[in-house]
């Protein structure tokens, strides 16, 4: 016997509707809360921007950028640090495919296990700062903890 939410009614109770108004039987297929930050760019430019920002943050440790870019970049920086914590050859090659500079990847894989070995996530900190002077865009510093 199947659960009640798998049963599709024969007709919609609303006369104006031509489809079934039942909730989805597979709630994990919904896209609520999964929107990608667009950053006003097409997908290839957006990926290149995030790769460049991630490379610069791992190189300098702290950069100043807009709040939207900092929030979007945080996911990728945390992923690179998580790859470096594992330290296997496969993870190193994945990081080399994302980060632009080879020396940064080697330094990252050498430094991260000691620095973040006992920390489970939360490798970056976003500090809000004054808006940018020209266009009043909200700015922030993003730094490695």
If the chain, 145 residues long, is cut into consecutive pieces of 10 residues, what is the mean pLDDT of each piece?
55 56 66 87 96 98 97 96 96 97 97 94 96 97 96
In a domain, 13, yes or no: no
CATH code (residue 111): 3.90.1030.10
Structural domains of the chain, count: 1
Report whether 53 contacts 65 (CB < 8 A).
yes
The confidence score (pLDDT) of residue 29 equals: 73
The confidence score (pLDDT) of residue 52 equals: 97
- Rounded Cα distance between 89 and 93, Å, is 6
Domain limits for position 128:
43-144
In a domain, 109, yes or no: yes
In a domain, 133, yes or no: yes
Contacts of 8 (CB under 8 A, 6+ apart): 20, 22
In a domain, 108, yes or no: yes
In a domain, 50, yes or no: yes
- Rounded Cα distance between 63 and 8, Å, is 53
In a domain, 1, yes or no: no
The confidence score (pLDDT) of residue 33 equals: 82
The confidence score (pLDDT) of residue 32 equals: 84
Report whether 142 contacts 74 (CB < 8 A).
yes
In a domain, 87, yes or no: yes
SS3 63: strand
In a domain, 134, yes or no: yes
Measured between alpha carbons, how far is residue 112 from residues 83, 100, 126 in Å?
10, 18, 20
The confidence score (pLDDT) of residue 30 equals: 80
In 16-136, beta strands by DSSP E: 62-66, 124-128
């Amino acid at each position: 016997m199947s659960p009640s939410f798998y049963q599709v009614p024969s007709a919609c109770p609303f006369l104006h509707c031509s489809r079934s108004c039942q909730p989805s039987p597979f709630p994990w297929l919904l896209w609520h809360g999964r929107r990608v930050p667009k950053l006003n760019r097409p997908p290839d430019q957006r990926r290149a921007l995030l790769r460049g920002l991630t490379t610069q943050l791992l190189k300098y440790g702290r950069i100043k950028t807009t709040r939207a870019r900092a929030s979007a970049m945080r996911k990728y920086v945390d992923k690179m640090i998580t790859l470096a914590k594992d330290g296997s050859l496969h993870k190193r090659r994945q990081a080399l495919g994302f980060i632009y500079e080879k020396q940064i990847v080697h330094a990252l894989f050498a430094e991260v296990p000691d620095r973040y070995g006992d920390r489970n996530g939360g490798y970056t900190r976003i500090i809000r700062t004054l808006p940018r002077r020209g266009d009043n865009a909200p700015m922030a510093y993003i730094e490695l903890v």
